[in-house]
Structure 1
Amino acid sequence: MLIPTVKGTVEISASPERVWNIIADPTNLPKLAPYVLSSEFDPPGLMTVGAKGHAIGRMAGRKVEVFAEVMEAEPSRRLALKQRPGGLLKSLSTTVTLEPTPKGTLATEEFQFEVSMGHLGKALSGLVVNRSIRKNAIDYLKNLKEIAELRETPGKA
């Protein structure tokens, strides 16, 4: 069976360093991913390989949790996370790649996931969860572009 994948790319009028500082800061996750209400990573600060995180969100009116670990963190180039056991999804991996361009940065996100029907299947159909995940993955890039192109990052001094 093929694992569902969402892939998108956006051109951002900001340097890869600026974009990196947004995507690698877990406090920005609720601003980037519409369903995320809170996000914590240990150790705090910008994400590094081995950092473990926990995000709480809402999907189709239900509370969802995701436990993740940073697998790759190459500043200004690549950030990859993979789900740890627990939470809504059977599996999840997300990779954001940043490439410098003459106008700023080309950001590409690839999001792969499998819904754990045993966990939420009785309350939500796979179709509803699938649709919600796809929408949120697409919104992530849209929000990243909007935030990165602001003169100052929201919530930062």
Structure 2
Amino acid sequence: MADPSPLAGTVEIAAPPDSVWDVVADVTRMPDFSPELRRLWVVGRRRGPGASLQGATLLGVNRRGLAVWPTTSRVVRWVPGRAVAWKTRESGATWSYELEPTPAGTRLAARRELPAFTLGTTLLGPLIGGAAGHDRELAEGLWTTLERIREVVEAGAATPA
């Protein structure tokens, strides 16, 4: 089996970093943006504006076609206004979002770091069309996620109605 493909992308958002952070820091909204993630709960940490998620556990439900599976992640990086990252136990992937101020607003970068496919990913592979095929879909999904975040922030919808 081939090694995982590197996944990364950036998008320019015509809004200040605080507005982008308000959306990205509310990780429970990620299902609104991700084509695969359907639900996400934060376990074991205080929620609300300004709450640190460092070390928090995230319970997720993913869906791809007919396949549905749970994920458990831990927030491994939390820099208010700048970055959030979580490592998914089942796949070994670390997903991160980093903000950088620009003259026109904010550059939002997303990345998945995965040194190798895990045994779990290899075994689940046939159910999800193969790990490499899923990797291609995740790359497209990363771009979709970034674009959806951009659209929400630029529309001024930093908090749910």
- Pairwise CA RMSD of aligned residues? 1.9
Q: Is the 8 A contact 2:4 2:132 kept in 1?
A: no
- Residue in 2 aligned with 1:61? 66
User: For 1:111-148, what per-residue CA distance to the aligned partner results, in whole angstroms no more than 9, with x for missing partners?
Assistant: 12336112x13323223322221121121111110111
| TM-superposed deviation, 1:62 | 0.8
Structure 1 residue runs of 5 or longer lacking an equivalent are none
- Residue in 1 aligned with 2:126? 122
Structure 2 residue runs of 5 or longer lacking an equivalent are none
> Of residues 144, 148, 153 in structure 2, which corresponds to 1:143?
148
- Bigger shift: residues 18-27 or 106-115: 106-115
Q: Is residue 25 from structure 1 mapped to residue 30 from structure 2 by the alignment?
A: no
User: For 1:63-82, what per-residue CA distance to the aligned partner results, in whole angstroms no more than 9, with x for missing partners?
Assistant: 02221111111111111111
- Residue in 1 aligned with 2:16? 15
TM-score (norm 1): 0.86
Distance (whole Å) between structure 1 residues aligned to residue 46 and residue 6 of structure 2 = 29
Q: Is the 8 A contact 2:23 2:153 kept in 1?
A: yes
Distance (whole Å) between structure 2 residues aligned to residue 132 and residue 60 of structure 1 = 12
Q: Is the 8 A contact 1:49 1:72 kept in 2?
A: yes
* AA partner of residue 133 (structure 1): L
TM-score (norm 2): 0.84
- Residue in 1 aligned with 2:35? 34
Distance (whole Å) between structure 2 residues aligned to residue 39 and residue 60 of structure 1 = 18
Distance (whole Å) between structure 1 residues aligned to residue 153 and residue 53 of structure 2 = 20
Q: Is residue 71 from structure 1 mapped to residue 96 from structure 2 by the alignment?
A: no
* AA partner of residue 126 (structure 2): K
* AA partner of residue 4 (structure 1): S
| Residue identity (%) | 24
- Structure with greater proportional strand content: 1
- Residue in 2 aligned with 1:51? 56
| TM-superposed deviation, 1:154 | 5.7
Distance (whole Å) between structure 1 residues aligned to residue 88 and residue 131 of structure 2 = 18
